[in-house]
Amino acid sequence: MHRDPLIQIDIISIFPQYLAPLSLSLVGKAQDDGLMRIGVHDLREAATDRHRTVDDQPYGGGPGMVMTPEPWGRTLDSVLTEDSLLIIPTPSGQRFDQRVATEWSQRKHLVFACGRYEGIDTRVSDYYRERVEVAEVCIGDYVLSGGESAALVMVEAITRLLPGVVGNVQSIVDDSFADGPMESLLEGPVFTRPANWRGLGVPEILLSGDHGKIQAWRLEQAQRRTAFMRPDLAPGGTPESGAVAH
């Protein structure tokens, strides 16, 4: 099947091998199917010295090293176009969430600049912000050793929203954090065969065939789970007293 890819994603890193999992699973298949294209670029190829240096000591002192702007400039100049979105994963960025994933899944070109060490010289984001849209984003309140694993997380969250990547559209609608009937609720418990496993059964209602009742039950379970696990997401919610089903 030949078609124009829906999205082009370029990822720049000093560890291109870190991005190898992108050839697996749904993301790998979507590339094979021509739905998206992913290019991985080795930042060190833009270094000019014998040691392929990409970092230096921070001005003003302090621990660790900072990535120098020159290799970033050379690489980004060759990858960016005027309608690219340049994404810089960093613990000091704005929070990445499902809403951001949905927005970015509609873009034509995403470029991830994966920093290591103490980060990339700030002039890189300052310079490119004058030329393209730039987003500095954090995937959660913890510190990773580099942007690569954050880029993997974001690429998966974004690309599974593209039509044709996930087989069953309903599974996207029902996801926790998705904008469907279960908007802002965590997914409730799920069951499959066997009906009895190590003495544990399946809620009767799921075997009843009454889809209206099943829907209502799932909604209630989702509400309970959200109130318990994530009271910050629950409408009006502190955790309910009493047991949560699962």
Strands (E), the chain: 7-13, 36-42, 55-56, 66-67, 84-95, 109-113, 133-138
Count residues near ligand ADE (CB under 6 A).
11
Contact region with ligand ADE (CB under 6 A), list: 49-57, 105-113, 143-151, 192-200: 143-151
Cβ(137)–Cβ(37) under 8 Å?
no
Beta bridge partners of 110: 9, 85
Concerning whether 45 is annotated as a catalytic residue, the answer is no
Which residue among 82, 142, 170, 209 contacts ligand ADE (CB under 6 A)? 142
Residue 238 C-beta: closest distance to ligand ADE, Å: 27
Q: Which of positions 84-113 make contact with ligand ADE (CB under 6 A)? A: 89-91
* 147 sits near ligand ADE (criterion: CB under 6 A): yes
Q: Which residues contact 130 (CB under 8 A, 6 or more apart)?
A: none
Residue with tokens 């034509």: 108
Decide whether 153 or 202 has the Cβ nearer to ligand ADE.
Answer: 153
Which of 175, 187, 203, 230 is the catalytic position? 175
Which residue among 26, 100, 138, 172 contacts ligand ADE (CB under 6 A)? 138
Concerning whether 141 is annotated as a catalytic residue, the answer is no
Residue 58 C-beta: closest distance to ligand ADE, Å: 17
Count of C-beta atoms within a 10 Å radius of residue 236: 6
Cβ(139)–Cβ(96) under 8 Å?
yes
Which of 16, 21, 58, 91 is the catalytic position? 91
Name the DSSP class of 53: -
- Binding region for ligand ADE (CB under 6 A): 89-91, 138-140, 142-144, 147, 150
